[in-house]
Amino acid sequence: MSAAEGPLVVGVDSSTQSTKALVVDAATGQVVASGHAPHTVSSGSRRESDPRRWWDALCEALRQCGDAAHEAAAVSIGGQQHGLVTLDDRGEPVRPALLWNDVRSAPQARRLTEELGGAKFWAERTGLVPAASFTVTKWAWLAENEPEAARATKAVRLPHDYLTERLTGLGTTDRGDASGTGWWASGTEAYDEEILARVELDPALLPRVVRPGEVAGTVRGRHDLPLAEGTLVAPGTGDNAAAALGLGLRPGMPVMSLGTSGTVYAVSRHRPADPSGTVAGFADARGDWLPLACTLNCTLAVDRVAALLGLDREAVEPGTSVTLLPYLDGERTPNLPHASGLLHGLRHDTTAGQLLQAAYDGAVHSLLGALDLVLDEDADPSAPLLLIGGGARGRAWQETVRRLSGRPVQIPEARELVALGAAAQAAGLLTGEDPAAVARRWNTTAGPVLDAVERDEAALARIAGVVSDAAPLLERGTDTQ
């Protein structure tokens, strides 16, 4: 490990599948140590994880960082959004956490929307229209289907809150992650008592929302954690808000993230309220807003199609007239939680590579359809689309995004942007800087820019036509309850 020019900080990304930890030089942004440990997620219609395994993975990832982790002056946790963590009076999980991509609460989402003011009410009050991804619907599902678990719950947390609380002993969250629950009012930036009363959730069970730049606490002495007692703990935030910090985003810079889920987002100075529910009006981790659209099916769905075809994920072939909607886990954009995948236009001369390309096209189409709704007047129409996440390194993903967007595409060389954003937040505690400014100083967006190509309007129109024509079938989907 080379000598650091400044204090060391730790940034963590506790994602759906694994935990990554980076030890970063706060002065230069140099990653001096890193660690990685996987999680276990249940399969089928249930998407659940034992929160204690997240803690075990965090400890393992930090142990892999060696002495550098122990030397860190501050730490921050970025975590998967929306997951419902229910704790008993000893701080132990009542049941496995319901993850963001568990869609069993779709009926509760519909009822909450209908019974409490409609979509416009929810969008204006919380920035969100209830969908199966959001925490408020998961709590409603739990209260209805597992009332004993709901009664045993003495604290409700999000995934990043759970890890931060185990670090500090204090129940805290931040505005970025709180804004994805459905029970945080974006206008007043406080928990919404009317919504909490409707779902019978005592606000005393929720964590305190700490302000941007505020210290959430310090690391307690623990034998199983390779961080020094007294290390400063930043508020942390949700994964998308952390990635926005990691990119040092200025308002209007568009981002497409290709991971387990796919997202498009941009920082905005204006509080979003989209009654269609396509755009979630999240807060960012700094004091601005992060309008975002998300698809459930992205890299995992395309990889699954490649596996079914016996192909490498890059083995795409051009010239397809096939449409494949890869809604393998239901879908959020469009909001079809019980949908399954759909293949249209198959012919004798269709090749396996063309089918695979159709899966890429279907996934990217869903994201691009929401991009214009995400961007507002702050957006620069000529700015490159920042492409991040695991899929951003794949040539097939890059070329599909270029062809269907018609925009230049920039691929930051920096890896693990969620963990880097958390590290920038931790560094901001030490220096008093805006974390996004820290990331810009670290030059995290540096990377190649792929020139724009002519947009494939024919493919976009074909896919949109299939989505529209198949809407009744997709709505029926498969019963996953």
Mean pLDDT is lowest, of 30-44, 166-180, 229-243, 398-412, for 30-44
Q: What is the pLDDT of residue 62?
A: 96
The pair of three-digit structure tokens given for residue 428, joined into one six-digit string: 């901001």
Query: Per-residue pLDDT for 4 more than 80?
Result: no
Cβ(370)–Cβ(278) under 8 Å? yes
SS3 for 386?
A: strand
Alpha-carbon distance of 147 to 150, in angstroms, equals: 5
More confident residue, 101 or 140: 140
The pair of three-digit structure tokens given for residue 114, joined into one six-digit string: 């209908």
The pair of three-digit structure tokens given for residue 180, joined into one six-digit string: 């994805």
Query: Per-residue pLDDT for 466 more than 60?
Result: yes
Q: Sign of torsion, CA 466 467 471 477?
A: positive
pLDDT band at 63 (very low <50, low <70, confident <90, very high): very high
The pair of three-digit structure tokens given for residue 173, joined into one six-digit string: 């969250």
Q: What is the pLDDT of residue 259?
A: 87
DSSP-derived secondary structure for 194-262:
HHHHHTT--GGGSPEEEPTT---EEPPP-TT--S-TT-EE---EEHHHHHHHHTTPPTT--EEEESSSE
pLDDT band at 221 (very low <50, low <70, confident <90, very high): confident
pLDDT band at 114 (very low <50, low <70, confident <90, very high): very high
Cβ(53)–Cβ(39) under 8 Å? yes
Q: List the chain domain ranges.
A: 8-241, 248-416+445-475
pTM of the full predicted structure? 0.90
Cα angle 48, 363, 403 (rounded to 5 degrees) comes to 150
pLDDT band at 1 (very low <50, low <70, confident <90, very high): very low
In 10 A of CB 53, how many CB atoms?
A: 17
The pair of three-digit structure tokens given for residue 20, joined into one six-digit string: 């990554």
Alpha-carbon distance of 412 to 401, in angstroms, equals: 15
Query: Cα 313 to chain center, whole Å?
Result: 23
Calculate mean pLDDT across residues 65-87: 97
Q: Is 188 exposed, middle or buried (0-12, 13-18, 19+ CB in 10 A)?
A: exposed
Alpha-carbon distance of 114 to 134, in angstroms, equals: 16
Domains 8-241 and 248-416+445-475 share a fold: yes
The pair of three-digit structure tokens given for residue 333, joined into one six-digit string: 């954009």
Tens-place pLDDT, residues 192-217: 999 999 999 999 999 999 999 999 99
Total residue count of the chain as it appears in this document: 481
As annotated, the active-site residues are 239
Alpha-carbon distance of 176 to 240, in angstroms, equals: 9
Paired strand residues for 281? 291
Q: Which of 394, 338, 392 is nearest to 367 (CA)?
A: 392
Intra-chain end-to-end CA distance of the chain, in Å: 51
Alpha-carbon distance of 124 to 136, in angstroms, equals: 16
Query: Per-residue pLDDT for 58 more than 80?
Result: yes
The pair of three-digit structure tokens given for residue 349, joined into one six-digit string: 């001369």
Q: What is the pLDDT of residue 432?
A: 95
Is 81 marked as binding a ligand? yes
Average pLDDT along the chain: 93
In 10 A of CB 282, how many CB atoms?
A: 27
Tens-place pLDDT, residues 316-334: 999 889 999 999 988 878 8
Q: Which of 362, 328, 332 is nearest to 345 (CA)?
A: 362
pLDDT band at 223 (very low <50, low <70, confident <90, very high): low
Domain 248-416+445-475 of CATH type 3.30.420.40: yes
Q: Hey, what CATH topology would domain 8-241 get?
A: Nucleotidyltransferase; domain 5 (3.30.420)
Tens-place pLDDT, residues 341-368: 999 999 999 999 999 999 999 999 999 9
The pair of three-digit structure tokens given for residue 194, joined into one six-digit string: 């009317």
- Percent of the residues in the chain that have a pLDDT greater than 90, as a whole number: 83
Q: What is the DSSP letter of 390?
A: G
Residue 61, amino acid: A
- Percent of the residues in the chain that have a pLDDT greater than 70, as a whole number: 97
Tens-place pLDDT, residues 251-307: 989 999 998 889 999 999 999 999 998 999 999 999 999 999 988 899 999 999 999
Query: Per-residue pLDDT for 479 more than 60?
Result: no
Is 17 marked as binding a ligand? no
